[in-house]
Amino acid sequence: MTSEVLSRPDRKRLEVTRRITEAAAALFIERGASSVSMDEVAVRADVARRTLFNYFESKDALLFAVAAPVLEEAVRLVRLAMAGETVGLGSVFGVCYTLHATFGGRLRLLYAFELAESDRLAALHTEYMVAFAALVERAVGAGQARLVGRLIYRNFVPLLQALEREPDGERRFMAGMQGLVAGVLAG
C-alpha cells in the first residue's frame, strides 16, 4: 500500500490556497465579485497581498479557481444523469442535492451573473445551463421544461440551505421540490 505524503511546503501551499479560495468565495457570495478587492481577500484569508498575487495573478484567476470546480462538477453530474435510461424529476433533484452536498454555500455562485465577466466562466456557466435545461426537458417534456427548469434552478439552493440541518433533509428536499413543481404544473 503506497501513500503519497506531501512535503511540508506542498502542505503549506495547499493550506494557503484553501484559505484564499474560501475567503474569496465568502466575499464573492456576500457582495458580488465586482465589489470585492484583492486586498479584502488577502485580509480575510490572513495572507499578505504579495502572497495572494503569487497564488492568483488576478481577480479573474481567483474567481475562476473558486467558481470553476462548482460549474465543472455540475456539468459532470447533469451528463451522468442524462446517461441514465430513464430520467425523471428525481434525477434532476438528485443532481441538485449532490451539488449541495459537495459544495454547500458555494452553490450560490451559480447565481452570480458576474461570471459573465470572465469568458472562461461564462462558457462553463452556459454549458451547465444548456445541460441542465436538457435534463429538465427530458424529465418533464418540452412543453413545460422552460418553466420547470427556471423554477428548480431558482429554488433548489435556498431550499437546500433551509433544510441542511433538518433531520431527513434529503427526503424533505425531494418532497418539497416535487410539491413545488406539481403545484405549478397543476396551474
pLDDT at 2: 46
- 56-92 per-position pLDDT tens digit: 999 999 999 999 999 999 999 999 999 988 899 999 9
Q: Mean pLDDT score of the chain, rounded to an integer?
A: 90
Please state, for a pLDDT cut of 70, what percent of the chain lies above it. 95
What is the pTM assigned to this prediction? 0.84
Helix axes 142-163, 169-186, angle to 10 degrees: 140
Place 116 in a pLDDT band, splitting at 50, 70 and 90: low
Grid coordinates belonging to 38: 484583492
Distance CA 89, CA 87 (A): 7
The answer on pLDDT for 171 being more than 90 is yes
Encode pLDDT of 130-155 as tens digits: 999 999 999 998 888 989 999 999 89
Architecture label for domain 1-57: Orthogonal Bundle (1.10)
pLDDT digits (tens, 9 = 90+) for 102-112: 998 888 887 76
Nearest CA-CA partner of 44 in 66, 11, 67: 66
Length of the chain: 187
Overall average pLDDT of the 6-35 stretch? 92
* 23-28: long-range contacts, CB 8 A cutoff, minimum separation 24: 24/62, 24/63, 24/65, 24/66, 25/66, 25/105, 25/106, 25/109, 26/105, 28/63, 28/66, 28/67, 28/109, 28/112, 28/114
C-alpha span between 126 and 8 (Å, rounded): 39
Domain extents for the chain? Answer: 1-57, 59-186
